[in-house]
Structure 1
Amino acid sequence: MKTKNIWFNQPAGRWEEALPIGNGTLGGMIFGKTQIERIQLNEDSLWYGGPMQRNNPQALESLSQIRSLIFDGKIREAEELAADTLVGVPDGQRHYEPLGDFYIAMDHSEHEPNGYQRHLDLEQGKVHVNYTADQSIYSRDYFASYPDQVLVVHLKSSVPGKLSFSTIFGRGAVLESTSYSDILKHPVGFQSYLDRIEKRGTNNLVIRGRSGGEEGIRFCCAIRLISEGGQVHYSSGQLSLKNGNSATILISACTDFRVPKEQLEAECLRRIEAASTKPYSELLADHVSDYQSLFKKMDIHLEDENKDVIYSELPIDQRLERLRAGKHDPELMSLYFQFGRYLLISSSRPGSLPANLQGIWNKDMLPVWDSKYTININTQMNYWPAESCNLSECHVPLFDFIDRLQVRGKETARTMYGCKGFVAHHNSDIWADAAPQDVCMTSTFWTMGGAWLSLHLWDHYEYNKDVQFLEKVYSTMKDAAMFILDYLIEDPSGNWVICPSSSPENRYILDNGESGALCFGASMDNQIIRELFMRCIESTRILQEDQEFGEVLRSALTKIPETSIGKHGQIQEWSNDYDELEPGHRHISHLFALHPGTQITLQSTPDLAKAARVTLDRRLEHGGGHTGWSRAWILNMWARLEESELAHDNIVELLRSSTLPNLFCDHPPFQIDGNFGGTAGIAEMLLQSHNEVIRLLPALPSAWPKGYIRGIRARGGFEIDLEWENGRLLNTRIRSIEETRVTVSYLDQKIELNFPGPNAMIELKGDKWNNK
């Protein structure tokens, strides 16, 4: 068994054991059942309803009064007024929906198959199932092809003429039948969320439907069955094969979010027609070539020198159980790292929407938290590994989304707050809705979503040194900064602050014992403002334009409150040093300056770094890190503090307590940001590059005494290979995309490196450091 496989020796009994495939727009969850296979399908643009105008015109009329009430300490009155006037109308955005379920009922006897195995091959980006039934070996391969924009299922029987099955597509209910004959009698309501299923030609099905009434998104799905040997039949919305040798099923889907509704069917059929001109071997080869062009840009191996078993010979559920029982498994952490990269490749490709709360994999017609874009941490966390883990191309869908959010956010800023620039709150949807979501005091009225997202634009520039990209996106960063400049107000101490705001998603305790959420000058807000303003100022220097605006920002920064240390020795969460209602809250928003921000470091702000540690300790002592994404954020923070053992402890805890059998992160329920945050955190332990210094193995734990990582990226346009043994750096290779110089540090040593031109490489042996 290959080491880059996630495998089971039984079919999935529930969705959380199924294995994901995806090409950015089309996703599938593979159950691998032997009698009736289920593939749960998603198309990334299939959301409920259509765009809405939700900006509340009452907001501007009440804003001054709400601010006065907050400054006067009348928090309850301010919150009551905000609930009436600052919410979106209606208060909810749109939600994501599944495309449906595709079933393959195999014509097997009722005898239990044997020799079963199901695995996700991370090297090739495909799922494989094989088992023995009725004296024949059956195998299936599944993948979602980005080049051909189809999901592919290939089935084979080792005995010619023994491959027989029937298929059915449904939406809105799960087919519970367990026999081949029963699938021909699908239950009432199984297709109630579809408009129609029709035959096209001898071996095509076209499924059509809509979501959200007359104004809702329309969708189409096309399915083609291609057989080698046997006969293909159609009956009552089902395609069947009798007595075949092998078969390839092609599935395509699209919505009128991208394709005019009159052309949906033609586009779906065009895709499967183009794909079917290729033999299966070519479809697979093209998929693997495309996938590996991204996946193979990095490799990692964390070796366990004292292992008592061969890990690759254990199914993934057993490996997780061993970890929960206290066993070590560094190689599982390597696998988890690469699984996170696989998920980003599979859910975020140029032309797709960005990965949502579940990537693209959602089974529910009304998912938890609507499976939207939660932009007070979760969407951003989805993209933390994009640059450092050598997947810059996968960052592009987020940039496209920010472009649309900027347009909608300008309208919201003008209508609701009378401000220039663009704003976004803590949630958005497929339509890049920028108005407030929900009526929740701890999150709804937070206005920093657009500012935080804009920092991803700078991050992409920093890693790639692409000045043309910076020229293109600077206006977006400026628009985010302009909103802040307009929205800032002077507080009673003379500081410029955001008001109203909150510290997502916590509450504080007032002197009278009441709790509040609305505030002014939350620490996270001040930290995001500083980060954004500094990046805009730096952009004006690099681009040699808009210098006057840069000076405006420099002046404004002198009025923004600095990060403070509170009475417990912690980073203060609010402008006043309140106690938290939930000291163990899952959000640790006031440590933004530590990570993903760059304002708190061990080297430049040791007192704040110490206070950040106190903050993390207090959160964890009171039960923090109880959600997967929160644990992943904590992991990244410990890595930034170079606390290698604590960082490692949090990876272990992420796998033990917040990981489902298929390695999906458990909020609970499933939420994908913890996977991406976990991958980014492992990268952060092995390499850091903020504040113009590349730090090698800054948080290498004792549990990883030997290993390597290849292709990890650093800010400044560098790609790096590291190898270590006995906990010491052995070899370092650094490649630069341009002529430059950089400071590199390892332990307490530093070295200045000069790169004479593009693609120059410098190699450092371990003794280079040992002799310093």
Structure 2
Amino acid sequence: MHFAVRTIATTTLLLLTGALHAQRAAITVVFDTAAKVFTESLPLGNGRMGAMMYGSTGKERIALNEISLWSGGEQDADSREAYQYLKPIQDLLLAGKNREAQALLQKHFIAKGEGSGFGSGAHVKYGCYQALGDLFIEWKDSAMPVTEYTRQLDLENAKAVTRFKRNGQQIKEELFADFVNDIIWIKLSSSGKAGIDARLSLYRKEHATVTANANQLIMQGQLPSGKEKGMRFASVVQPVIKDGKITAEGNVLHIEGASECWIKIAAATNFNWNTSQLIAPDPLAQCLHYLSATKAMQYAVAESKSAAAYQKYFNRCRWQMPANDAVSGLTTIQRLIRYNKGEQDLALPVLYFNFGRYLLISSSRPGLLPANLQGLWATEYQTPWNGDYHLNINIQMNYWLAETTNLSSLAEPLHRFTKDLVIPGEKTAKAYYNAKGWVAHVISNPWHYTSPGEGAEWGSTLTGGAWLCEHIWEHYRFTKDTAFLRTYFPVLKGAAQFLQSVLIREPKHGWLVTAPSNSPENTYITPDGFHGQTAMGPAIDMQICRELFNACIHASAILNTNSDWSKELQQLLPQLAPDQVGAAGDLNEWLDDWKDAEPQHRHVSHLYGLHPYDEISIVRTPELAKAARKTLADRGDGGTGWSKAWKINFWARLGDGDHALILLNQLLKPVTRMGIVMSGGGGTYANLFCGHPPFQIDGNFGGTAGIAEMLIQSQEHYIQLLPALPAAWSGSGSVKGLCARGGFVVDMEWKEGRVTGCKIVSHAGGECKIMVNQKLISFPTIKGQSKKISL
């Protein structure tokens, strides 16, 4: 009997240990060396402040960010005379003279002045997102060897830890971004008394000065706004020690003989979150206010409260897959390399999924700016493409995961940003199109730039703002929040009115089309050999028109408003240029069946109707779905990181989980290149950041959204469980907290590819239809209640 009890206990311990290994493998990013480059550092953030831990045992670097820190400022980039050239450009397009139309557009229908500086706007009026600076921690005994080094990011607790042994002492560096007190905390500790001896310094290479007083490092600066002075900013670093002493030496603080040291980091700018303007209050005073509020606070208390606030988001949605003991002792890069060789690691996609949700929680906070091309994290002073808001997929992809993975409230910055584009967008609509409503083109910044770009080959896409409106309508579809819809209905209406105003009738079929526009960043070849971008009625424009018009029609009915205008839209819908299948069986990207100058271009914009919109469906439009499949086959599986992420979503919508997994596996391919690569690139860096290359966060967010699409879909007016489950994941698994349109939250388990258990929570009430194991089930629900489905 005694032997049996011991056996059960041992077995239980082994099971618990195995479960713990499985859990850690899915929530921990692991290194066994310090970071040499940005894409090996560990990112932390609370939506406003960001930090990157490098983990050096000699001179530790903590790269710092503040999400509003931008050079540049408000500018008038609208060409006031541009509208005079609208009809001449349209007439040339109608006459088939695209070459002449594009030349005229490039001369008169682009941004006034320097625009975005062609993506290098740090020193022009457009500006760019910039690094705040670096905190350095220089250890006194850095020349001595270290052992037992580890560096880990815990996604479950939003905390990074570096550990190592030196000179007989265990040294630990802990870092978290405080979701409650809005500062960064670092804790340095040693196993022995008086083990902390280090020098603290703040650094920024330009536009800042650093000073030190008895117990603080203070950085203050002001960025340029073109030839003028722009945003002011400040950061304060304040150490608190146990034992030992702190002394100031010039602009450095020296910590001697401490057993423990807490380092509190505050940062602020004079950007007004409500008006998106620069204001007078002193950023330094705001930093000191943050620190004063935590004066009597213990590190452990702050850490516990911050983790609880973070976990309210993170724990809403959790995906579990079987563990593989073979990966339990590996670093993340070792797992990526192993996985790329085809070896099994079912927890690695789960880790990537968790990391994507972690990044959105850490870089998007209600009331602040939306996540940008870098999310929140950058070490550059001229970030790639200005680190701005690209409206032809990138900022939208950042938020694809928000609704499906139970982070709906974190999309608020995107919704509000869209609303704030209306007033400047109305001016741009008048200046270029003499049109009603509002427009935003391809790029934007914190000052709500809505003008075209400075190049015809990319800058005249006119549906950027309308695409943003898709997120407003989707938020309603997922939440059924009519108060939200009423607040944002004018935004939808203004975007739709603009599209109404710019539609012209093309001569071949008599369809209504947009003009002038382009299919984002892609090039066609006309029969006479012209390589161009300026066109009328590209497929993505017409799909967005249909989506937005339909959204406004439904919203008008829900809110019982604008019925006459709704009828106008209903009459326009059948006149819009439809999706067309080309001679090769693929979907046409342009109004005519023209050849692609780059057949495997990274953008696949004409499949917008497949994802994120849902007008192309294997259920409702099988012929168009077949054409979409042919298009994807022709485009191939290559491309940048975010392009691969979009393709995961495409293949999931086509119900092909195995091909979606092929793309996910490619997205998880280890990347070592840092330069800009537009084709044949893509993959994942050692810290799980997406490699465009270079780093661009939309691939992380798009990949996470794609995984969710493989597990659940709801665009067919019913919920589909496991609509694109790959064979490799079919053995067993579970997920809780995925969201579906209609206000439903789903938990489920599966085995051998079949759902074995399911629970539905209704946040809005009403009928629930669910496709599970190829069977359609329908039942009424009551708001706030749940229902278990017996299988």
Same fold per TM (> 0.5)? yes
Q: Which amino acid aligns with 1:445?
A: S
Q: How does 1:460-479 map to 2 (within 5 A)?
A: 460-479=475-494
Q: Is residue 212 of structure 1 aligned with residue 228 of structure 2? A: no
Q: Is residue 751 of structure 1 aligned with residue 763 of structure 2? A: no
Distance (whole Å) between structure 1 residues aligned to residue 536 and residue 362 of structure 2: 40
Partner of 1:645: 658
Secondary structure in 2 matching 1:719: strand
Contact 1:255 1:261 in 2 (8 A): no
Aligned-pair CA distance for 1:171: 1.1
Q: Give the TM-score normalised by structure 2.
A: 0.92
Secondary structure in 2 matching 1:310: helix
Match of 1:29 among 49, 52, 55: 52
Q: Which amino acid aligns with 2:692?
A: H
Match of 2:644 among 619, 627, 631: 631
Q: How does 1:283-322 map to 2 (within 5 A)?
A: 283-303=302-322, 307=324, 309-322=325-338
Partner of 1:241: 255
Aligned-pair CA distance for 1:289: 0.8
Secondary structure in 2 matching 1:250: strand
The percentage of aligned residue pairs carrying the same residue is 38
Q: Which amino acid aligns with 1:489?
A: I
Contact 2:80 2:431 in 1 (8 A): yes
Q: Which amino acid aligns with 1:488?
A: L
Match of 1:453 among 453, 468, 477: 468
Partner of 1:349: 365
Aligned-pair CA distance for 1:277: 2.2
Partner of 1:185: none
Distance (whole Å) between structure 1 residues aligned to residue 218 and residue 564 of structure 2: 58
Aligned-pair CA distance for 1:303: 2.3
Secondary structure in 1 matching 2:668: helix
- Structure 1 gaps, min length 5: 173-191, 767-772
Secondary structure in 1 matching 2:79: coil
Secondary structure in 1 matching 2:575: coil
Distance (whole Å) between structure 2 residues aligned to residue 354 and residue 546 of structure 1: 31
> Relative to structure 1, is the Cα distance of residues 669 and 440 closer, same or farther in structure 2, using a 3 angstrom cutoff?
farther
Cα distance per residue 1:656-686 (max 9 Å; x no partner): 1511111000111100000000000000000
Q: How does 1:327-346 map to 2 (within 5 A)?
A: 327-346=343-362
Match of 1:87 among 110, 126, 132: 110
Aligned-pair CA distance for 1:765: 3.0
Aligned-pair CA distance for 1:563: 0.7
Q: Is residue 481 of structure 1 aligned with residue 506 of structure 2? A: no
Distance (whole Å) between structure 1 residues aligned to residue 409 and residue 249 of structure 2: 43
Partner of 1:611: 627
Q: How does 1:684-695 map to 2 (within 5 A)?
A: 684-695=709-720
Distance (whole Å) between structure 1 residues aligned to residue 229 and residue 710 of structure 2: 48
Distance (whole Å) between structure 1 residues aligned to residue 260 and residue 44 of structure 2: 21
Q: How does 1:106-255 map to 2 (within 5 A)?
A: 106-172=139-205, 192-194=206-208, 196-199=209-212, 202-212=214-224, 214-255=228-269
Partner of 2:725: 700
Secondary structure in 1 matching 2:334: helix
Q: Is residue 76 of structure 1 aligned with residue 99 of structure 2? A: yes
Distance (whole Å) between structure 1 residues aligned to residue 133 and residue 280 of structure 2: 19
Partner of 1:399: 415
Contact 1:26 1:44 in 2 (8 A): yes
Aligned-pair CA distance for 1:455: 1.1
Cα distance per residue 1:346-395 (max 9 Å; x no partner): 00011221011110111111111111101100100000000100001210
Secondary structure in 2 matching 1:165: strand
Contact 2:203 2:210 in 1 (8 A): no
Match of 2:689 among 664, 672, 689: 664
User: What is the root-mean-square deviation in Å for CA atoms of aligned residues?
Assistant: 1.3
Aligned-pair CA distance for 1:747: 4.3
Aligned-pair CA distance for 1:240: 1.9
Contact 2:201 2:217 in 1 (8 A): no
Aligned-pair CA distance for 1:109: 4.6
Partner of 1:183: none
- Structure 2 gaps, min length 5: 1-20, 117-125, 273-277, 670-681
Distance (whole Å) between structure 2 residues aligned to residue 365 and residue 94 of structure 1: 10
> Relative to structure 1, is the Cα distance of residues 312 and 410 closer, same or farther in structure 2, using a 3 angstrom cutoff?
farther
Q: Is residue 508 of structure 1 aligned with residue 508 of structure 2? A: no
Contact 1:438 1:444 in 2 (8 A): yes
Q: Which amino acid aligns with 1:298?
A: C
Match of 2:78 among 52, 55, 67: 55
Q: Is residue 17 of structure 1 aligned with residue 17 of structure 2? A: no
Secondary structure in 2 matching 1:221: strand
Aligned-pair CA distance for 1:414: 1.5
Contact 2:538 2:591 in 1 (8 A): yes
Partner of 2:17: none
Distance (whole Å) between structure 1 residues aligned to residue 308 and residue 736 of structure 2: 19
Q: Give the TM-score normalised by structure 1.
A: 0.94
Contact 1:347 1:359 in 2 (8 A): yes
Cα distance per residue 1:258-279 (max 9 Å; x no partner): 2734421111100011123210
Cα distance per residue 1:604-654 (max 9 Å; x no partner): 00111111100100000xxx5320000000000000000011011111111
Q: Which amino acid aligns with 1:295?
A: F
Cα distance per residue 1:734-766 (max 9 Å; x no partner): 0101321021112432111211x2222111233
Partner of 1:734: 760
Contact 2:57 2:142 in 1 (8 A): no
Contact 1:234 1:240 in 2 (8 A): yes
Partner of 1:178: none
Contact 1:644 1:685 in 2 (8 A): yes
Secondary structure in 2 matching 1:159: coil
> Relative to structure 1, is the Cα distance of residues 113 and 67 closer, same or farther in structure 2, using a 3 angstrom cutoff?
same
Cα distance per residue 1:520-568 (max 9 Å; x no partner): 1100000000011111111011111111111111111121111111111
Distance (whole Å) between structure 2 residues aligned to residue 438 and residue 119 of structure 1: 43
Contact 1:109 1:134 in 2 (8 A): no
With 209-218 and 688-697 compared, the bigger mean Cα shift is at: 209-218
Secondary structure in 1 matching 2:328: helix
Distance (whole Å) between structure 2 residues aligned to residue 352 and residue 129 of structure 1: 30
Partner of 2:427: 411
Contact 1:28 1:40 in 2 (8 A): yes
With 238-247 and 672-681 compared, the bigger mean Cα shift is at: 238-247
Partner of 2:285: 266
Distance (whole Å) between structure 1 residues aligned to residue 331 and residue 367 of structure 2: 35
> Relative to structure 1, is the Cα distance of residues 747 and 59 closer, same or farther in structure 2, using a 3 angstrom cutoff?
farther
Contact 2:757 2:789 in 1 (8 A): yes
Contact 1:6 1:315 in 2 (8 A): yes
Partner of 2:275: none
Distance (whole Å) between structure 2 residues aligned to residue 411 and residue 277 of structure 1: 50
Contact 1:410 1:421 in 2 (8 A): yes
Distance (whole Å) between structure 1 residues aligned to residue 555 and residue 80 of structure 2: 34
Equivalent pairs counted in the alignment come to 737
Secondary structure in 1 matching 2:321: strand
> Relative to structure 1, is the Cα distance of residues 236 and 545 closer, same or farther in structure 2, using a 3 angstrom cutoff?
same
> Relative to structure 1, is the Cα distance of residues 561 and 109 closer, same or farther in structure 2, using a 3 angstrom cutoff?
closer
Q: Which amino acid aligns with 1:268?
A: C
Aligned-pair CA distance for 1:193: 2.8
Cα distance per residue 1:259-314 (max 9 Å; x no partner): 7344211111000111232100111011101100100111101226xx4x432321
Aligned-pair CA distance for 1:407: 1.8
Partner of 1:770: none
Aligned-pair CA distance for 1:13: 1.4
Distance (whole Å) between structure 2 residues aligned to residue 509 and residue 739 of structure 1: 52
Distance (whole Å) between structure 1 residues aligned to residue 756 and residue 788 of structure 2: 11
Q: How does 1:703-718 map to 2 (within 5 A)?
A: 703-704=728-729, 705-718=731-744
Cα distance per residue 1:225-283 (max 9 Å; x no partner): 11111101112111221100111111111111127344211111000111232100111
Aligned-pair CA distance for 1:198: 3.0
Match of 1:425 among 433, 441, 449: 441
